[in-house]
């Protein structure tokens, strides 16, 4: 538990055990599920944490407010990483009312069988008074679920933003940021955004416009640090990512069964390095411990303007992990990128043409016909220096 101000407390938890967030995204530095309390004449709890942390969560709540009852549980977002202790908390706090918008109600019933008489429905601009302060609610649909809203504590300029402005990587004991925290979390924030929210650039832009009128002094999101010192950088990064804006640089994303496509990828990385071109390289099939695969490649696609996809020909098609990556780009409507494809084959190469066709359908600028080479990678077959020049 960390006290954030006279009235507000952090009561979230760190999860270092989960291997894949949403069953897909690796968590090398863990993740936090953040929950907050505003204790005034009345007490509001804002979101809960994932199941499995019942005792730790309840202990944090009690450390903040002792045996005081909780009057309201505000549900900003129904994804189970925040909602799965709702039923547990309703049982522990029998007078507590859930505060939620109309789209949330059927989800509450469907997931947790929440009885209607325990739910107070609020709408856009709705407000509940806690005594000397009040909470108001703004809908930010599709960031990244339809029922998503944020909660605004005017008296403290505090935005309880749900997943917006969230990031992977567990929080340290202080929870609150300092001027260096943004850089420390930057990569994990881009990875979180690109993996989870990336599809919803337009709704994020709409939300940012809506929130721009608020004089925000503190952002309490549901994952990662509480932002105070770094608010301008955090908001600017979300703005940039949701506009799909990137720097010149190369994300090499490849898959390989027997190392030939991988050798070409490594050789290209060396040539980019020699030219001082910013780049990242990802093994999409995660052959080595610590590889972030599609998750890491998506992060770097949201950083750099050039995608280089490498795939051997596999049953006359694209190697499945590389296909997954291409589908992930499609699903996120990643636009405005330059593209180059390469890969090894043995009897009849078709992966490179198929990759180019997918990229073309997404409107990418195809930088060349690509490099489809038979069997082993050799310098004679593969002029990676020429490709690096093309990508510069």
Ligand X SMILES: Cc1cc2nc3c(=O)[nH]c(=O)nc-3n(C[C@H](O)[C@H](O)[C@H](O)COP(=O)(O)O)c2cc1C
**Residues of the shown chain interacting with ligand X in the complex, contacts defined by CB under 6 A:** 256-262, 312-316, 344-349, 375
188 binds Fe ion per the rule CB under 5 A: no
Q: Which is nearer to Fe ion, 79 or 323 (CB)?
A: 79
Cross-strand partners of 119: 98
Structure tokens at 120: 């107070």
Backbone phi and psi for residue 197, each to the nearest 5 degrees, phi listed first? -100, -15
Instruction: Tally the C-alpha atoms within 13 A of residue 213's C-alpha that lie toward its C-beta.
Output: 6
Rounded Cα distance between 68 and 336, Å, is 54
Q: How far is the CB of 148 from ligand X (least distance, A)?
A: 41
Q: Which is nearer to ligand X, 116 or 347 (CB)?
A: 347
Rg, the chain, Cα only = 23
Residue pair 150/159 in contact by the 8 Å Cβ criterion: yes
323 binds Fe ion per the rule CB under 5 A: no
Surface-to-core class of residue 315, CB atoms within 10 Å of its CB (0-12 exposed, 13-18 middle, 19+ buried): exposed
Q: Which is nearer to ligand X, 120 or 350 (CB)?
A: 350
Give the residue from 53, 42, 46 showing the smallest Cα distance to 17: 53
Backbone phi and psi for residue 101, each to the nearest 5 degrees, phi listed first? -90, 170
**C-alpha distances in Å from residue 96, one per residue of 81, 123, 196:** 20, 19, 31
Q: How far is the CB of 255 from ligand X (least distance, A)?
A: 8
Q: How far is the CB of 144 from Fe ion (least distance, A)?
A: 6
**Residue 314 interacting partner from Fe ion, ligand X, none (CB closer than 5 to 8 Å by kind):** ligand X
Q: Which is nearer to Fe ion, 85 or 285 (CB)?
A: 85
300 binds Fe ion per the rule CB under 5 A: no
Q: How far is the CB of 350 from ligand X (least distance, A)?
A: 7
Residues 209-228 binding Fe ion (CB under 5 A) are 222
Q: Which is nearer to ligand X, 18 or 381 (CB)?
A: 381
**Residue 16 interacting partner from ligand X, Fe ion, none (CB closer than 5 to 8 Å by kind):** none
Rounded Cα distance between 309 and 313, Å, is 13
**C-alpha distances in Å from residue 255, one per residue of 70, 259, 360:** 51, 9, 20
Q: Which is nearer to ligand X, 157 or 320 (CB)?
A: 320
Q: Which is nearer to Fe ion, 195 or 222 (CB)?
A: 222
Cross-strand partners of 37: 9, 45
Query: Within 10 Å of residue 132's Cβ, how many Cβ atoms?
Result: 10
Query: Within 10 Å of residue 1's Cβ, how many Cβ atoms?
Result: 15
Q: Measured between alpha carbons, how far apart are the two ends of the chain, in Å?
A: 49
The rounded Cα 240 to chain-centroid distance in angstroms is 14
Among residues 15, 71, 81, 300, the one that binds Fe ion under rule CB under 5 A = 81
Q: Which is nearer to Fe ion, 163 or 283 (CB)?
A: 163
Q: How far is the CB of 311 from ligand X (least distance, A)?
A: 8
Specify the stretch interacting with Fe ion by CB under 5 A; choose among 36-44, 81-89, 288-296, 318-326: 81-89
CB-nearest residue to Fe ion? 79
Q: How far is the CB of 262 from Fe ion (least distance, A)?
A: 34
Q: How far is the CB of 287 from ligand X (least distance, A)?
A: 11
Specify the stretch interacting with Fe ion by CB under 5 A; choose among 15-23, 55-63, 78-86, 265-273: 78-86
Q: How far is the CB of 238 from ligand X (least distance, A)?
A: 37
Among residues 15, 40, 163, 283, the one that binds Fe ion under rule CB under 5 A = 163
Residues near Fe ion (CB under 5 A): 79, 81, 163, 222
């Amino acid at each position: 538990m960390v006290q954030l101000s006279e009235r507000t407390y952090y009561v979230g938890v760190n999860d270092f055990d989960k291997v894949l967030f949403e069953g897909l995204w690796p968590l090398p530095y863990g993740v936090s599920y953040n929950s907050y309390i505003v204790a005034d004449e009345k007490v509001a709890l804002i979101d809960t944490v994932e199941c499995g942390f019942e005792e730790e969560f309840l202990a944090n709540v009690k450390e903040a407010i002792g045996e005081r009852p909780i009057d309201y549980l505000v549900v900003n977002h129904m994804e189970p990483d925040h909602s799965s202790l709702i039923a547990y908390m309703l049982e522990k706090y029998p007078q507590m009312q859930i505060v939620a918008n109309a789209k949330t109600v059927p989800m509450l019933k469907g997931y947790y069988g929440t009885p209607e008489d325990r739910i107070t429905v609020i709408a856009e601009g709705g407000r509940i008074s806690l005594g000397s302060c009040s909470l108001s609610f703004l809908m930010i649909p599709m960031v990244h679920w339809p029922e998503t809203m944020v909660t605004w504590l005017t008296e403290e300029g505090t935005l309880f933003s749900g997943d917006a402005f969230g990031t992977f990587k567990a929080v340290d004991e202080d929870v609150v940021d300092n001027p260096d925290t943004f850089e420390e979390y930057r990569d994990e924030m881009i990875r979180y955004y690109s993996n989870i929210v990336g599809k919803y650039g337009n709704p994020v832009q709409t939300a940012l416009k809506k929130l721009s009128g608020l004089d925000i002094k503190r952002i309490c999101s549901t994952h990662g640090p509480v932002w105070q010192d770094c608010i301008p950088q955090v908001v600017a990064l979300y703005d940039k990512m949701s506009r799909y804006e990137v720097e010149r640089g190369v994300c090499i994303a490849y898959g390989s069964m027997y190392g030939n496509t991988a050798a070409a990828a490594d050789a290209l990385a060396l040539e980019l390095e020699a030219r001082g071109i910013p780049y990242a390289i990802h093994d999409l099939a995660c052959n080595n411990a610590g590889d972030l695969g599609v998750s890491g490649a998506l992060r770097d696609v949201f950083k750099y303007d050039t995608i280089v996809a490498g795939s051997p020909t596999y049953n006359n098609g694209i190697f499945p992990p590389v296909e997954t990556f291409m589908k992930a780009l499609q699903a996120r409507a990643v636009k405005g990128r330059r593209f180059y494809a390469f890969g090894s084959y043995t009897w009849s190469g078709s992966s490179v043409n198929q990759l180019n066709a997918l990229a073309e359908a997404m409107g990418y600028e195809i930088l060349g016909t690509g490099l489809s080479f038979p069997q082993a990678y050799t310098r004679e077959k593969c002029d990676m220096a020429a490709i690096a020049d093309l990508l510069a």
